[in-house]
Amino acid sequence: MPITLPETLPAFDVLQREGVMVMSPERAARQDIRPLRFALLNLMPKKIQTENQFARLIGATPLQIDLQLIRMSEHQTKNTAAEHMETFYRPFEEVEASGEKFDGLIITGAPIEHLPFEEVTYWEELTRVFAWTQTHVHSTFGVCWGGMAMINHFHGVKKHILDHKAFGCYLQNNVDPTSPYLRGFSDDCFIPVSRWTEIRADEIKAAPGLKLLLDSPETGPCLVEDPGHRALYIFNHFEYDNDTLKQEYDRDVANGTPINVPLHYYPGNDPTLAPRNRWRSHAHLLYGNWVNEVYQTTPFRLEDIGK
């Protein structure tokens, strides 16, 4: 079954061309079932690219999903047209005031890793988002900086600055094969990594209630479950397109920013060759498992979420 998106959203045509089942809200309203209601709190600069990436993954299951787009209330993006933001995004304060509830929420990363959390301009509102998820969202998925922010807020787990950027496609070990979120996973898998900070395994293990699911000897923890807060935290980027790391590398080279060639990404680590996607199947598995777990456990009535 399809994901529901406005027909004028760029992702609608992109995903439809790729064979993803996409449905307009008008058509969805005529179906006699309750779709899952998901939201994307998009903190990334390239909003449209990020919309496409996450819609592609959660729209690949047999379930109908109504996807809503949310932004921070006061923060203004410089990389996406104001018309697009006005047409498709709602400020969090509007969503909060409405009292509406969601089966799932994704909180994306943001390119602000070097800042202490408290110095982020929208940190106060973001902590309100975290609190709101406990009463208005059945399951929350924090991605990269978004996951680091959540695990810090709820558990005090710190992010640590790296002396060089973790950049490339790194092998992850499946350390909890019985987890429903890792159903169908191999013993290891590759995932794109692009960050200047890390969360450390010993601090996760010292925090009560956290479960480490994917871990890497090179780049540290990747995926953590937080059952007490009905949340998953992933510190890397299963959602990335084939060429996202290439775009980041080419941008830094063009700007004269020191950057290493993303490891294990280009054949023979040669950036003149086309990169190969080594993570797509596990990306769909993880997000499909998450959507399925939400479907199996969320209340039938939206108004019962958080009770």
Residue range 156-174, pLDDT digits in tens: 999 999 999 999 999 999 9
pLDDT band at 78 (very low <50, low <70, confident <90, very high): confident
Binned at pLDDT 50, 70 and 90, residue 262 comes out as: very high
Distance between CA atoms of residues 53 and 48, nearest Å:
9
Spatial CA neighbour of 53 closest among 219, 284, 249: 284
- Rounded CA gap, 150 and 144, in Å? 10
Exactly one of 138, 155, 229, 237 is catalytic; name it. 237
- 81 pLDDT band, cuts 50/70/90, is confident
Tell me the per-residue pLDDT of 1-60, one tens digit each, with 9 for 90 and over. Answer: 567 889 999 999 998 888 676 878 887 776 556 789 999 999 999 999 999 999 999 999
Helices 10-17 + 47-58 axis angle, to 10: 50
Which of 28-42, 191-205, 219-233, 268-282 is least confident?
28-42
Catalytic residue among 239, 248, 282, 293: 239
What's the mean per-residue pLDDT of the chain? 93
CA dist 223 and 193 (Å) reads: 12
Say how far apart CA 38 and CA 106 lie, in whole Å. Answer: 8
237 is catalytic: yes
pLDDT-derived band at 273 (thresholds 50, 70, 90) equals very high
Quick check: 79 pLDDT over 80? no
pLDDT over 80 at 100, yes or no: yes
Question: Could you tell me where the beta strands, DSSP code E, fall in 199-238?
Answer: 211-216, 220-226, 231-234
Percent of the chain with pLDDT over 90: 79
pLDDT grade for 263, boundaries at 50, 70 and 90:
very high
Helices (H), 5-138: 10-17, 25-28, 47-58, 82-88, 92-98, 123-136
Annotation says 222 is catalytic: no
Which residues are CB-contacts of 226 (< 8 A; sequence separation ≥ 6)? 150, 151, 154, 155, 209, 210, 211, 232, 233
**Cα 167 from Cα 192, distance rounded (Å):** 8
Spatial CB neighbours of 126, under 8 Å, sequence gap ≥ 6 = 72, 120, 149
Domains of the chain: 3-162+197-239+281-304 (3.40.50.880)
- Kindly name the residue from 51, 138, 144, 248 that is annotated as catalytic: 144
